[in-house]
């Protein structure tokens, strides 16, 4: 999807300098693309940042982390057509696993389940949930951790399939509102070792990170559009402040 007029940046460049503010204390707003890095096979992994770049409330939406569960990409792309909630710095990563998405596989090009490769609670797993040789062994996971540490999202929504529910053991107010607005059951599935939300729950104090399990197959455009609006409603319901990153979670990259 090509968006005219976007400035391509790298996440390293963003980390090296503070976000630019407009003159007279006004917030910088708009949209821009960020090249976060590349997959094992060299495919680009990009984010679009939109809204209030230095707003007090940050949010992250990831459309696809398992390459055979990518229905959320349609929602992520539709979000780019909506106006983000006020005072919100919204980051949208449509596809964190482009190699797996291209191959139709759960894991990346190394066969690693990226949602078992994060450092907190990591365990050596094999088979369909192969967790890699060590935490953060994969470039895609390092990219994800880098953006999480950089923006400290107040709300993170990770789309998966195929259970047709919202999974949040903490049952935060944000996930409750999302589930109610989306007409989905709110469940408390066990935290998986080395998952993105396991890391966030431990490391980002005050944040709300949850999984939206979409049904099997492709979403209709009507439902994708509805869920994109639900994302905005849920994000707007969160308090406008960024979580605190626990000191023990700064390391790892």
Which domains are delineated in the chain? 36-161+175-240 (3.40.630.10)
- Given a cut of 70, the residues of the chain with pLDDT beneath it are 1-27, 251-253
Alpha carbons 172 and 169: distance in angstroms, whole number: 8
Helix (H) or strand (E) holding 140, with range, is: helix 139-151
Among 81, 121, 214, 105, which Cα is nearest to 113's? Answer: 105
Alpha carbons 228 and 82: distance in angstroms, whole number: 8
Residue 31 dihedral angles phi and psi, to the nearest 5°: -155, 150
Which residues, in sequence order, are CB contacts of 152 under 8 Å at separation 6+?
Answer: 58, 204, 207, 242, 243, 244, 245
- The confidence score (pLDDT) of residue 29 equals 78
- The confidence score (pLDDT) of residue 25 equals 41
In this structure, the number of other CB atoms found within 10 A of the CB of residue 188 comes to 10
Category of 238 on φ-ψ map: left (φ > 0), alpha (ψ -120 to 50) or beta:
beta
- The confidence score (pLDDT) of residue 248 equals 83
The model carries a pTM of 0.89
Strands (E) across 123-182 are located at 155-167
């Amino acid at each position: 999807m090509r968006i005219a007029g976007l400035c391509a940046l790298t996440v390293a460049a963003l980390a090296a300098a503070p976000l630019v503010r407009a003159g007279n204390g006004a917030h910088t707003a708009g949209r821009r693309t960020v090249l976060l890095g590349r997959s094992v096979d060299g495919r680009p992994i990009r984010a679009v940042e939109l809204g209030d770049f230095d707003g007090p409330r940050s949010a992250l939406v990831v459309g696809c982390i398992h390459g055979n569960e990518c229905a959320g990409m349609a929602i992520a792309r539709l979000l780019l057509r909506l106006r983000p909630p006020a005072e919100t710095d919204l980051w949208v990563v449509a596809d964190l696993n482009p190699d797996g998405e291209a191959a139709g596989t759960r894991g990346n090009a190394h066969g690693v389940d990226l949602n078992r490769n994060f450092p907190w609670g990591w365990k050596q797993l094999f088979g369909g949930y192969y967790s890699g040789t060590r935490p953060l062994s994969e470039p895609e996971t390092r990219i994800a951790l880098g953006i999480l540490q950089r923006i400290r999202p107040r709300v993170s929504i990770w789309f998966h399939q195929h259970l047709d529910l919202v999974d949040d053991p903490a049952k935060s107010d944000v996930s409750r509102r999302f589930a109610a607005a989306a007409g989905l059951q709110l469940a408390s599935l066990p935290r998986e070792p080395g998952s993105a939300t396991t890391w966030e729950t431990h490391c980002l104090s005050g944040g709300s990170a949850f999984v939206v399990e979409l049904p099997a197959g492709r979403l209709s455009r009507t439902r994708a559009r509805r869920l994109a609006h639900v994302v905005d409603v849920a994000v707007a319901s969160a308090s406008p402040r960024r979580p605190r990153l626990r000191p023990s979670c700064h390391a790892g990259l």
